[in-house]
Chains A and B, each alone.
Chain A
Amino acid sequence: DIQMTQSPSSLSASVGDRVTITCRASQDITDDLGWYQQKPGKAPKRLIYAASSLQSGVPSRFSGSGSGTEFTLTITSLQPEDFATYYCLQHNDYPQTFGQGTKVEIK
């Protein structure tokens, strides 16, 4: 199975900060990776697909990069509505696997 190691598990940041979250795959997954945002009590929401493509309607302050085994989600100029938990998901092979999640909290 492909393991996804996501870091950090949590971070504190201020409105306007730049935030970076990383996912590492245990083997090459090319660009078969997505990023999801989840707010408490809500279903996850798609942000990024194919490692770096922005979902329609998602603000451009969100971006993804990487391929192979190293991937990054960056939020430039963090906004109040961005405080949430973020997950990466690899779909290169079954079983699909999520990262452990990164909780972005207000400093």
Chain B
Amino acid sequence: EVQLVESGGGLVQPGGSLRLSCAASGFTFSSYVMSWVRQGPGKGLEWVSSISDSGGNTYYADSVRGRFTISRDNSKNTLHLQMNSLRAEDTAKYYCAKWRWGSGYSWGQGTLVTVSS
């Protein structure tokens, strides 16, 4: 069974940094594209970033490019999202998601990030 457990969320001041992690189990982590998707309070889903199975290719939404960095450690079955220069509009629940072609996303339960002074 696929399990994705996010951690690292919390309250941070505008301009601050936070690093999210996602511990994966129940599947061969190194074989799958992984993504972060967020949802602001009362808002819809927003794709944030994806990383290829090897980590060699990364993709970002325009809203976070240059501020966020996605990475993975296939030896530890862990996905990360380094978030710098955080803004109020980054306040959201951040979901870790496993992408499978022909099947779509499997989701973690999310971790909450609040950017506020």
Q: A94–B31 Cα gap in the complex (Å)?
A: 19
- Residues of B in contact (CB 8 Å), total 21
Q: Which residues of B contact A96 (CB under 8 A)?
A: 35, 47, 50
Q: Shortest CB–CB separation between residue B80 and chain A, in angstroms?
A: 19
Q: Which has the most chain A C-beta neighbours within 10 Å: B35, B46, B95, B103?
A: B103
Report yes or no: A43 in contact with B50, Cβ–Cβ below 8 A: no
- Residues 87-100 of chain B: 1 if any A CB is under 8 Å from the residue's CB, otherwise 0? 00000000100010
Report yes or no: B47 in contact with A98, Cβ–Cβ below 8 A: yes
Q: A22–B56 Cα gap in the complex (Å)?
A: 35
Report yes or no: A55 in contact with B103, Cβ–Cβ below 8 A: yes
> Which residues of B approach A to under 8 Å, CB–CB?
35, 44-47, 50, 59-62, 95, 99, 102-110
